[in-house]
Chains A and B, each alone.
Chain A
Amino acid sequence: MSDIKNIQNNYSAKLNNNLSLEEINQIKTELFGKNGLISSQFKNIGSIPETDRKKFASDLNQIKDELQNLITSKINEIESKKINEKLEKEKIDVTLPERPFVIGKIHPVSQTIDEISSIFSEIGFSVEEGPDIENEYNNFTALNTPDNHPARDMHDTFYLDENKEILLRTHTSPVQIRTMLKDKPPFKIIAPGRTYRSDSDQTHAPMFHQVEGLHIDKDINMGHLKGCLNYFIKEFFEVEKIKMRFRPSHFPFTEPSAEVDIGYEIKDGKIVIGEGDQWLEILGCGMVHPNVLKNVKVDPSKYQGYAFGIGIDRLAMLKYGINDLRAFFDCDYRWLNHFGFDPLDVPTNYRGLSR
């Protein structure tokens, strides 16, 4: 009993001296470390006669608490003293310049995708997505382009395996297949995304962006297609009138198929969309081929509709006056800074698409 009392007296006295933080920590170890004075007393509890054991344990705990409290209060005292000293000495130099900070820019392609999604969602399309890595069936065969079809030559495909079964999708049309297999008609979707073809020059990049559109219902005809595209083009270019022509063409997955040109002219070195007598091809479309509907278990005698595919990069170039496609993918910060968009500038139909 007197042992622990002695320890308490000794150390209380020691702690009341003007000690440094290190010294207090030293004492803490001496008392409460693994073999510290107090810690070792706890090991002795078992050897004390049963009659005294209860009192000893209670005293020991009390002394332990008192010593610990004392140590904590001493440490706090020293620390708050230190902080006060620091506050006394330190001053903030409010004249220093701020740290540099940079707001990122939204890439024109991302902005354009947002604009397109916004326009189509207004007229009832929902957005679907599909993977960039596709199988040959979804990319070609299901879209009425069987193996050995000469139309496959129109797509320089990146194949990912020897058997040519896995590939990077050459268009966004496989999303049509995925969507129609997953759900039941009617369908009214758009699917923007990355597409890949083994082709590279000023107007072709090996990776580019398309947006697919698909509208299947009981009585959707080419008139609806024309109306939908006309609305989209006017909204997108933010013009009142648009000159547009449908030219017969061929895609294996639509019949009849058309390519759509819009009228433009060059005025003072700038391209003006919607007027003039020059034509610019901007998209391909058509009525979904009955074979495609059969492949996704949709009855072509009950359902019909249109599909279209638009090159997003081409639209972005036209709208924002960018003349080299390759610049999109150069990752040049200065370019992005010039052509990019403020992240807060989210395109919506009611607030206006672009500033």
Chain B
Amino acid sequence: MKITFDWLKDHLDTKLNEGKLLEQLTNVGLEVESVENLSAGLDLFKVAKILKTEKHPNADRLKVCDVDVGENEIKKVVCGAPNAREGLITIYAPPGAIVPKSKVKLVVAKIRDVTSYGMLCSESELNLSDESDGITELSSKKYEKSIGKSYFSKSNSNLIDLSITPNRPDCLGVRGIARDLAASGFGKLKNLKEKKIKSNVKQTLKVKINKEKNQACSSFGSCLITNVKNTESPKWLKDKLVSIGQKPISAIVDITNYVMLDINRPLHAYDADKIEKGIVVRNSKSGEEFTALDNKNYKLDDGMCVISDNKGVLGLGGIIGGTRSGTEFDTKNILLESAYFEPRSIRSTSKKLNLDTDAKFRFERGIDPLSIEDGLNKAALLIKEICGGEIGKIDIQTNETVKAKTIKFDTNLFEKITGFKISIKEILKILEDLGFKIKKEKKTFKINHPNLETRYFTGNRCC
């Protein structure tokens, strides 16, 4: 699980510094694997303007460019990009800079007898996108005045990689980590007043969970959003994903990823126009096939939980979606999925197909079944904010109602097992900070959690 201190601060009020944070994460059992400064050295990459291009005297495809790198300085750079042209504003990397993709350190070099001072970069070389056909083209309107300035905004937040043990699925989201830290005395968990969807538009797309033996999906929430305009994500969202090493794709995909990482609620977005006559959640039949979003074709066995429509399999529930119903930049209507899948089924299916995804990793450890609505609310409202459109009413199909588990907790057990005593008051405070609801009985306490994955305590002795 990758996080940054900045992202944690969305959920956590604290005055302590990052060094203390790393210590505390380890102390609460969220082992810090590594700390990396992703933006180190990125300030060297500058917005620059090509003033003049000439053909390279000794090479047909190379050009020698005079580049304005700000502060009245002009550098000669040899460039092979076909789109290098006079007047283009692009990104310049001086000698000494390290190219993010290849990790190569640039030096002043002679390229076929012409000395090149640095490099003009493609988006791919900067890990900004897969675009590698030419150098980055920046809009002259936006960047004309920034020539000579750093392209990347400065971020002081390091990328913190945590190793989360299998008993803590609740910490596979930034908020869960913040909650744990707050309960340990590291700041205060922010009370986020999440908005709720207000809509009376009934969902027109029908969703059905087949009642059959070993049905792994007990609950399937969805929300139809019409007339959206999918675009690139806004800067705050891109920055967020980039800060933890993920690549932004499009607003809709980025939002579902963001919600998953933020509150540990995996979602899936379908292009609603590509779904034929409603969704059926059912067990697969041997021999069924579909092409997943990783562009691989998967042949299914009997009894794998699939999301399907009239035409066949759309995706493997809780593991991976299919290309047929994937969202694109021209997608107009989307169906957001937020469901609960049985960890056992997720694990055996992904093992058989040798598939590993972020969603699978979370579902096989156990996702809070009661977070279905929260996830839909958060994602749908973000989509409306960024891509426009109209949100329909949330539709939740269930096979069985999930109730928060209540357990008896004997405070004496704590001392019996650990060999030291803390006051009941202290115990109760920690449990409350962790979000437990407590009811006092004669000698024991009844505790339950309104919206934590139930396994969070069944897997453990007491809490």
Contact = CB atoms under 8 A, between A and B. Distances in A.
A252 B166 CA distance: 9
Interface stretch (B2-10, B393-401, B414-422): B414-422
B29 A150 contact: no
Given A148-B343, A148-B344, A248 B29 contact: yes
Interface string A149-187: 111011000000000000000000000000000000000
A250 B166 contact: yes
B417 A221 contact: yes
B461 interface: yes
Contacts of A256: 417-418, 460-461
A249 B29 contact: yes
B28 A304 contact: no
Interface in B384-424: 416-420
A148 B348 contact: yes
Given A148-B343, A154-B166, A247-B31, 19 more contacts: A150-B364, A221-B416, A221-B417, A221-B418, A221-B419, A222-B417, A247-B27, A248-B27, A248-B29, A249-B31, A249-B165, A250-B29, A252-B166, A252-B167, A256-B418, A256-B461, A259-B31, A287-B461, A304-B416
A304 B417 contact: yes
B332 interface: no
Interface string B109-151: 0000000000000000000000000000000000000000000
B246 to A, nearest CB: 22
Contact of B28 (A248, A287, A289): A248
A304 B418 CA distance: 11
Contacts of B418: 221-223, 256
A249 B165 CA distance: 7
Nearest to A149: B166
Given A150-B166, A250-B166, A250-B168, A289 B461 contact: yes
Interface in B416-458: 416-420
Contacts, number: 55
Interface in B1-60: 26-29, 31
Interface of B: 26-29, 31, 165-168, 343-344, 347-348, 364-365, 416-420, 460-461
Contact of A150 (B347, B417, B460): B347
Nearest to B364: A150
Contacts of B416: 219, 221, 304
Interface residues on A, range: 20 to 34
B381 to A, nearest CB: 32
23 contacts: A148-B343, A149-B166, A150-B166, A150-B343, A150-B347, A150-B364, A222-B417, A222-B418, A222-B419, A223-B420, A224-B419, A247-B27, A247-B29, A249-B165, A250-B165, A250-B166, A250-B167, A250-B168, A252-B167, A256-B418, A259-B31, A287-B417, A304-B417
A255 interface: yes
A340 interface: no
Contacts of B365: 150
The listed residue with most B CB atoms (<10 A of its CB), out of A150, A221, A250, A289, is A150
Contacts of A304: 416-417
Contacts of A148: 343-344, 347-348
Interface in A232-261: 247-250, 252, 255-256, 259
A290 interface: yes
Contacts of B364: 150
A248 B168 CA distance: 12
A153 B364 CA distance: 12
Contacts of B29: 247-250
A151 B347 CA distance: 12
Nearest to A300: B461
B344 to A, nearest CB: 5
A249 B348 CA distance: 25
Given A247-B29, A247-B31, A248-B28, A151 B419 contact: no
A307 B364 CA distance: 27
A249 B168 CA distance: 10
A248 B162 CA distance: 14
A289 B29 CA distance: 18
Interface string A270-295: 00000000000000000101100000
Contacts of A154: 166
B432 to A, nearest CB: 19
A6 B279 CA distance: 123
Contact of B419 (A223, A247, A289): A223
Interface string A48-77: 000000000000000000000000000000
Contacts of A252: 166-167
A330 B418 CA distance: 43
B287 to A, nearest CB: 23
A14 B344 CA distance: 101
B166 A255 contact: no
A224 B416 CA distance: 12
The listed residue with most A CB atoms (<10 A of its CB), out of B28, B347, B348, B365, is B347
Contacts of B460: 255-256
Interface string A130-153: 000000000000000000111101
Contact of A247 (B26, B168, B344, B417): B26
A119 to B, nearest CB: 22
A336 B419 CA distance: 44
A294 to B, nearest CB: 13
Contacts of A223: 418-420
Contacts of A287: 417, 461
